[in-house]
């Protein structure tokens, strides 16, 4: 009985650690549409554009958006 409990608990822990399929986790695509409205040639690697889109489209703040864009590879 303990072995089954440990296996189920381990499976639940691993399922919780599965990364999301996309970096934005936007199912509807609304963030991409919003980004295109702000910048016709949106480049997520441009930190200035990335932060502006994050603030406007994802309702972020400068600090968290700047950090998120840096972690995504924006320069």
pLDDT tens across 23-36, in order?
445 556 788 889 99
CA angle 33, 36, 39 (to 5 degrees): 155
pTM to 2 decimal places: 0.61
Cβ–Cβ < 8 Å for 39, 53: yes
Structure tokens at 45: 């690697």
pLDDT higher than threshold 80 for residue 13: no
């Amino acid at each position: 009985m303990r072995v089954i409990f440990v296996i189920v608990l381990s499976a639940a822990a691993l399922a919780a650690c599965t990364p999301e399929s996309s970096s934005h986790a936007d199912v509807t695509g609304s963030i991409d549409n919003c980004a295109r409205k702000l910048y016709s040639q949106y480049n997520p690697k441009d930190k200035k554009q990335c932060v502006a889109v994050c603030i406007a489209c994802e309702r972020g703040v400068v600090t968290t958006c700047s950090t998120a864009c840096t972690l995504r590879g924006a320069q």
